[in-house]
A and B are shown apart, each in its own frame.
Chain A
Amino acid sequence: MLLNELKVGEQANIRYISDDVFRTKLLEMGIMPGTLVTLHLKAPFKGPIAFSYQNTLLSIRNEDAQQISVDKLSLQA
């Protein structure tokens, strides 16, 4: 599934980021396949989403989140 399809509170591991510019940019920030993310906030009207990784809350636009495929964790932390 894609990152923007997670519900608030759900956790997932990043599987793949399709766009290469975006992938490199995120990699430099420490986000890569295997990184654990938690979805925290969704802006109204399919606006940006905010997810946490490590100790950061990061927001990205909805269409950029669609570039990120994730494996949802079945158990809630």
Chain B
Amino acid sequence: MKIALFGNPNTGKSTVFNLLTGLRQKIGNFPGVTVEQKSGVLHIKDASHELIDVPGVYSIYPSNKEEKVVFDLLFNASESDKPQLGILVADASNLSRSLFFFSQLIDSGLPMVLVINMYDIAQKKGINIDVTALQSTFSQSPIVIMNARVGLGKERLMQAISEQLDALKVESTKVTNTLKKLSDLAGQEKEANARNTYLGTILNKVLQEKEVPVRTHPLDRWFTHPIAGYVIFASILFIIFQFVFSFAAFPMDAIELGFEWLTLWLRNILPDGPLSALICEGILPGISGVLVFIPQIGILFFFIALLEDSGYLARAVFLMDRLVRPFGLNGRSVVPLLSSMACAIPGVMATRGIPNYKERLITIFVAPLMSCSARIPVFTLLIGLVIPKMKLLGFIQLQGLVLLGLYLLGIVSALFIAWVMKLIINQEKRSYYLMEIPEFKRPLWRNIFLTVLEKIKVFTTEAGGIILAISIVLWALASYGPREQRREAMRALKTTDTYMHVSQEEQEGLKNAVLLENSYIGIVGKGIEPMIKPIGYDWKIGIALITSFAAREVFVGSLSTIYANGGSGNDLKLSSKLKQQKNPDGTLVFSLRSGISLMVFYVYAMQCLSTLAIVKRETKSWKWPLLQVLFFGLMAYAGAWICFNI
């Protein structure tokens, strides 16, 4: 049986969903559309049922894409997709608003169960609900009192669902649908007015409310204060970033080290040959490259879920909305964009909370411009190479200033492009920002844990495959090349003076450099030299640019190989080697101009396979990731050209 879980936003619907399904959750799509559907398995007695988590709305009649899902599920879904039973989670403190949606659902002919959640909090506010009277009004739908956060009422709910399902089997007399499929606004308004009047008479009988004025929490004055509000928000973000950078590094290193051991071990037991190379150099590093993101995703979503579940996030959104609106962004874009400064992948995944599609799309599009942690090794190397170690005004480090400038360039460009997109993209309908500011709650660890788990699962299963496939292709292109050409180059190398007079270790380095130079990627890198000459790069940098399409930090490793530095790990040695490189005309390869040109290139260029895979996943189309590659590529080239030539 299919059971749908409905509710207004902020009624504790997700908590009920997590309570009923626990770890038995999966992510899919609503039939025919790209709106994400979360569903879970619900075991009652011996039967298992599919519980569908429907987006939180106030009414059956949709005003945007997300909400249309609810309408379509009830009226336009195929028989197999249609739910046979509905559960509505109502917030006991806001019963009238929940009953509005509930009575619509009943009128649509769907058998229902009504959950009155958070009754304890409502009672503290002086609200009393005459459940018996309410039950006799809605005699067809069992009513269950719950306090889902502490797990109270779970058994009663299961019992009610089971009884309602049994009743379905016996009674073949289906309730008829009396709800009109209204699509015109005037009709909807009339219907809503009539419904409110009808519900008003019911509520008069069942609801006793003391006139207690709503009061905001004393903290709210500080959280939304023109100065303190921003200071608090910035401090919270700062703490999160500290955690991401300092704590994510340990598990990330552990994952990489673990894979290195595994590779070594397999290399020893597997016979030498193409299979061993494929596994040890292609597949394993590819898997490692996917898994290495998990710590960052996990830690970031732990904090985002914590902010969301406690209620703080709504305050931050309230505070930030005005500042980012001129750029076509939403208050909800702020946390995803700032998270992207650690890594764009969790940033893009965090845009799920942005209710407006256009604003969400803009946020996803510009997120990769926020300078992520993978750019740090590239920037550090290049700054060390071309920016002199000097102090301005006696105390400002010039190198640090340049790094700050690169970060700012990324942020300013992201805002600028967001602004341009705001002007270009058409809005289907006028959108409204209506956001409830929930009361502060003690975060529920189960909710947070399940969010973190869901995000990790989505990344590894849905983006992981693409990342693995493309990284294997890139590896193959970097390790294979035309056989004749490679043999020829190798022979040439062995007759050179330099080769004959260096140690064996250095000979290995030189060999690797020649092999990469004559691989398919190397050939492409050489081929694009005429294109990158105008922005100051030679073919060696070209090869490093192409290999770092997989991930930006690969740039450093590739340069190390191509300049025969004898593997990675010795950045100081690499740096001094790079400093001596000269162009055929005697100028430095890494001059101030070409260095800055490269840095600007890395600010813009969309060189991250994993981000592209996750953008594809979140927008459900290749259109947006491909546009990012193209558009940011052009910006990178243009920016680099300007820096090199002016």
Q: A: which residues have CB within 8 A of B?
A: 19-25, 27-30, 32, 38, 40-48, 50, 52, 54-62, 64, 77
Q: How far is the CA of A22 from the CA of B432 in the complex (A)?
A: 8
Is B193 part of the contact surface with A, judged by Cβ < 8 Å?
A: yes
Q: Please, which residue of chain A has its CB at the minimum distance from the CB of B438?
A: A57
Q: How far is the CB of A34 from chain B (nearest CB, A)?
A: 11
Q: How far is the CB of A45 from chain B (nearest CB, A)?
A: 5
Q: Could you tell me how many residues of chain B have their Cβ less than 8 Å away from some Cβ of chain A? A: 46
Q: How far is the CB of B95 from chain A (nearest CB, A)?
A: 9
Chain A residues with Cβ under 8 A from B319's Cβ?
A: 43-44, 47
Chain A residues with Cβ under 8 A from B221's Cβ?
A: 41
Q: How far is the CB of A76 from chain B (nearest CB, A)?
A: 10
Known: A25-B63, A30-B100, A64-B432. A47 touches B322 (CB 8 A): yes
Q: How far is the CA of A44 from the CA of B437 in the complex (A)?
A: 16
In contact, B213 and A40 (Cβ under 8 angstroms):
no
Q: How far is the CB of A9 from chain B (nearest CB, A)?
A: 10
Q: How far is the CA of A24 from the CA of B62 in the complex (A)?
A: 11
Q: Please, which residue of chain A has its CB at the minimum distance from the CB of B59?
A: A28
Surface stretch bound by A, among B184-192, B285-293, B559-567: B184-192
Contact of A55 among B127, B188, B196, B432 (CB under 8 A): B127
Q: How far is the CA of A47 from the CA of B330 in the complex (A)?
A: 12
Known: A23-B189, A24-B189, A28-B61. A50 touches B318 (CB 8 A): yes
Q: How far is the CB of A64 from chain B (nearest CB, A)?
A: 6
Contact of A28 among B58, B226, B331, B429 (CB under 8 A): B58
Q: Please, which residue of chain A has its CB at the minimum distance from the CB of B8?
A: A29
In contact, A59 and B437 (Cβ under 8 angstroms):
yes
Q: How far is the CA of A37 from the CA of B438 in the complex (A)?
A: 17
In contact, A24 and B224 (Cβ under 8 angstroms):
no
In contact, A58 and B434 (Cβ under 8 angstroms):
yes
Is B220 part of the contact surface with A, judged by Cβ < 8 Å?
A: yes
A contact face: mostly helix, strand, loop, or mixed: mixed
Residue pairs across A and B with CB atoms within 8 Å: the count is: 126
Contact of A30 among B96, B224, B433 (CB under 8 A): B96
Chain A residues with Cβ under 8 A from B188's Cβ?
A: 24, 28
Known: A30-B97, A43-B224. A61 touches B318 (CB 8 A): no
Chain B residues with Cβ under 8 A from A41's Cβ?
A: 216, 220-221, 224, 318, 437
In contact, B432 and A47 (Cβ under 8 angstroms):
no
Q: How far is the CA of A40 from the CA of B213 in the complex (A)?
A: 11
Q: How far is the CB of B56 from chain A (nearest CB, A)?
A: 12
Is B484 part of the contact surface with A, judged by Cβ < 8 Å?
A: no
Is B436 part of the contact surface with A, judged by Cβ < 8 Å?
A: yes
Chain A residues with Cβ under 8 A from B59's Cβ?
A: 28
Contact of A57 among B186, B216, B226 (CB under 8 A): B216
Is B260 part of the contact surface with A, judged by Cβ < 8 Å?
A: no
In contact, A43 and B97 (Cβ under 8 angstroms):
no
Is B44 part of the contact surface with A, judged by Cβ < 8 Å?
A: no
- 8 Å CB interface, B86-115 against A: 93-94, 96-97, 100
Contact of A24 among B185, B213, B323 (CB under 8 A): B185
Contact of A45 among B58, B323, B437 (CB under 8 A): B323
In contact, A56 and B96 (Cβ under 8 angstroms):
no
Chain A residues with Cβ under 8 A from B224's Cβ?
A: 41-44
Q: How far is the CA of A59 from the CA of B216 in the complex (A)?
A: 13
Q: How far is the CB of A25 from chain B (nearest CB, A)?
A: 6
Q: How far is the CB of A61 from chain B (nearest CB, A)?
A: 5
Q: How far is the CB of B277 from chain A (nearest CB, A)?
A: 58
Residues 207-228 of B, flagged 1 when their CB comes within 8 A of A and 0 if not, give: 0000001101000110011100
Chain B residues with Cβ under 8 A from A45's Cβ?
A: 226, 322-323
Q: How far is the CA of A22 from the CA of B437 in the complex (A)?
A: 19
Chain A residues with Cβ under 8 A from B125's Cβ?
A: 55
In contact, B318 and A38 (Cβ under 8 angstroms):
no
Q: How far is the CA of A42 from the CA of B430 in the complex (A)?
A: 23
